[in-house]
Amino acid sequence: MRVGCPKEIKNHEYRVGLTPESAHELVSQGNEVWIESGAGLGIDATDQQYMAAGAKIVDGPDPIFAECEMVVKVKEPQADERKKLREGQILYTYLHLAPDPEQTRDLVDSGVTAIAYETVTGPRGQLPLLKPMSQVAGRMSVQAGAAALEKAHGGRGVLLGGVPGVMPGKVVVIGGGVVGFNAAQMAVGLGANVTILDRDPEVLEKVGTHFEARASTRFSNAANLLDAVSGADLVIGAVLIPGAAAPKLVTRTMLKRMQKGAVLVDVAIDQGGCFETSKPTTHDQPTYVVDDVVHYCVANMPGAVARTSTYALNNVTLPHALSIARLGWKEALKADPHLAEGLNVHAGQVSYRAVAEELGYEYRTAADILG
């Protein structure tokens, strides 16, 4: 198969879909790999390194979209890229379609076969292609929140770890999954006062056992959530419903009860955000203020640590890319029901239930499409 990897064009997105090592793996199995010139510079991977791995370097994205059978990316295709997609082509990347009707419409209209990293499952129902970026984003959320709390950045002027004789900052993590767990690890490591909220008793038991006295757990309901965020210095939104839009858990009314200069970091912004007042921001302008509360809602947080993120991502995406290239998308999905969960759009049809229900499309199962 001819596999192409264009340069990412989203604001301050420095990751790349294929590392030179991944390109070499694909080439060694008889595939042809095209890399857009400069695509790897954000992770310090030069065109020469890709060529040494056996890849072909092409100028600009157009040859890749026009001639490659599979396009491997990191972020969802931007509007200019979506115009280049074509019927019968495979798109393998993060998509996050539920809160993005324009992207969904363009993918449906293009006829492309779109396989989303974030909905591919594992043997125990986990999301293995989403997990490494969730780990990165969870850890980064505390870094970003700590910086936003500085007075010069509009925050309360609170040091999360405190100092002897001064209380540490209060961090509230909403959601005890991969993002929340990693955020809590970082916040606990800084010495903050940490509370984790979740609705799953097993998750609360797991994080409670892990952190012991270093973090508190609370069942997530409206009353407990309001009580927790009202006194928080930093709130991390770490809620995920696979493939679906995130629920708006922190309302505008709750926001009015928060402390002036407190910070919200919405890691769920890729799926629409879990705060009512959230809207996507960029690394250029990462924050804005509503009701005296600082909002950090960067939709591609891991892009800021591109080298770590790219290698972590390729570790989990490459095996499926090799399978698709070897067998073709249909046979690869037939052979692996977990990969089949990644099929979101095919030939003008939406094949992921949560996306279809959220955006009003007729739902066609992957099993129907695969025959």
12 is catalytic: no
Looking up tokens 């006295």, which residue turns up? 213
Q: Convert the pLDDT of each residue in 256-280 to its tens digit.
A: 999 999 999 999 999 999 999 999 9
Q: What is the model's pLDDT at position 137?
A: 97
Looking up tokens 């609360």, which residue turns up? 204
- Annotated binding residue 278: no
- Annotated binding residue 27: no
Q: Convert the pLDDT of each residue in 89-123 to its tens digit.
A: 999 999 999 999 999 999 999 999 999 999 999 99
- Annotated binding residue 33: no
The catalytic position among 96, 295, 320, 346 is 96
96 is catalytic: yes
Cα–Cα distance measured from residue 297 to residue 280, given in angstroms and rounded to the nearest whole number: 5
Q: What angle do CA 199, 339, 13 make, to 5 degrees?
A: 75
Q: What is the model's pLDDT at position 263?
A: 98
Q: What is the model's pLDDT at position 128?
A: 97
When the pLDDT of each residue in the chain is averaged and rounded to a whole number, the result is 97
Question: Helices 131-148 and 178-190, interaxial angle, to 10°?
Answer: 40
Q: Report helix, strand or coil for 79.
A: helix
- Annotated binding residue 3: no
By mean pLDDT, which of 53-62, 163-172, 239-248, 340-349 is the weakest?
239-248
Residue 154 pLDDT greater than 90, yes or no: yes
Residue 244 pLDDT greater than 90, yes or no: no
- Annotated binding residue 258: no
Q: What is the model's pLDDT at position 44?
A: 98
- Annotated binding residue 167: no
What is Dmax (Cα atoms) for the chain? 67
- Annotated binding residue 15: yes
Instruction: Name the pTM for this structure.
Output: 0.91
The catalytic position among 233, 266, 270, 336 is 270
Domains and CATH numbers, the chain: 2-120+306-370 (3.40.50.720), 131-299 (3.40.50.720)
Contact (Cβ atoms closer than 8 angstroms) between residue 142 and residue 267 = no
Looking up tokens 């629409």, which residue turns up? 272
Cα–Cα distance measured from residue 140 to residue 126, given in angstroms and rounded to the nearest whole number: 21
- Annotated binding residue 364: no
Other CB atoms within a 10 A radius of the CB of residue 176 amount to: 28
Residue 177 pLDDT greater than 90, yes or no: yes
Output 19-24 pairs: Cβ under 8 A, ≥24 positions apart.
19/43, 19/45, 19/310, 19/311, 19/314, 20/45, 20/49, 20/50, 20/52, 20/53, 20/55, 21/53, 21/314, 22/314, 22/318, 22/321, 23/50, 23/53, 23/54, 23/55, 24/53, 24/54
- Annotated binding residue 37: no
Residue 211, exposed/middle/buried by CB under 10 A (0-12, 13-18, 19+)? middle
